[in-house]
Structure 1
């Protein structure tokens, strides 16, 4: 049985690579760990956290998923455009998981800032997903 956060990560990566708007912005460069050297702009799956919240007859919880958009174009527009496209693709999306059951996935917040190198714009996009685990 797949862990909810790992299963969700795989489906999110596949969805973003297949999304025409996202692909037009990052050319399918969606990574868990980016290659070195990396071509900008690109997108990475970041930290996840699973908080169990079982009920009497239901196993499940919340998956907090953090993702990152990276750009070295001048200013913030490219990083913000990638973040917006990702949000449009995933917020309240009807995503099906193979093992677990996704109740909902919602965008929580996006932060955009300049990295310490002074060149790279960085968007941090956060989602929360409610997942039920199958009972055995």
Structure 2
């Protein structure tokens, strides 16, 4: 396992465990969504990890993208609502990473709302920054 895998697993667990978010997406949180996926749903997008070692501690800085997909004739209103639920779920979660990794910090750095080439779909992009040790 790597810190990136442990972090993704912890974020996934926090999202599916949140009752408000779960009521909206019914567990549809994917690393790679199936081709016949129902809306709304959430996917993990691109991510990056950068070495952030200090003295005796092996650390990493992670940039993770969470994508929120809604289908309301292209309206971004519902997408903004779901992105707000994702932000709240991550703010309130105490993410525990599998050994030997530990979470130093996590913050929602940015949220964007956009259309999609499929004109009936709206796409929200949540950028997360996290620091891990281990």
Where on the TM-score scale, by shorter chain, does this alignment land: which range?
A: over 0.9
Q: 1:5 deviation in Å?
A: 1.1
Q: In structure 2, how many angstroms separate the alpha carbons of the residues matched to 1:25 and 1:41?
A: 7
Q: In structure 1, how many angstroms separate the alpha carbons of the residues matched to 2:11 and 2:63?
A: 13
Q: In structure 2, how many angstroms separate the alpha carbons of the residues matched to 1:108 and 1:91?
A: 12
Which segments of 5 or more consecutive residues in structure 1 lack a partner in the other structure? none
Q: 1:94 deviation in Å?
A: 2.0
Q: Which residue of the partner structure matches residue 58 of structure 2?
A: 59
Q: In structure 1, how many angstroms separate the alpha carbons of the residues matched to 2:103 and 2:54?
A: 16
What TM-score do you get using the length of structure 1 for normalisation? 0.92
Q: In structure 2, how many angstroms separate the alpha carbons of the residues matched to 1:111 and 1:96?
A: 27
Q: 1:91 deviation in Å?
A: 2.6
Q: 1:124 deviation in Å?
A: 0.4
Q: 1:81 deviation in Å?
A: 1.1
Q: 1:116 deviation in Å?
A: 1.4
Q: In structure 2, how many angstroms separate the alpha carbons of the residues matched to 1:58 and 1:5?
A: 16
Counterparts of 1:25-36 in structure 2, within 5 Å, are: 25-36=24-35
Q: In structure 2, how many angstroms separate the alpha carbons of the residues matched to 1:87 and 1:21?
A: 12
How many residues are aligned here? 132
Q: 1:24 deviation in Å?
A: 1.2
Q: In structure 2, how many angstroms separate the alpha carbons of the residues matched to 1:72 and 1:94?
A: 31
Q: 1:26 deviation in Å?
A: 0.8
Q: Which residue of the partner structure matches residue 79 of structure 1?
A: 79
CA-based RMSD of the aligned residues comes to 1.1
Which segments of 5 or more consecutive residues in structure 2 lack a partner in the other structure? none
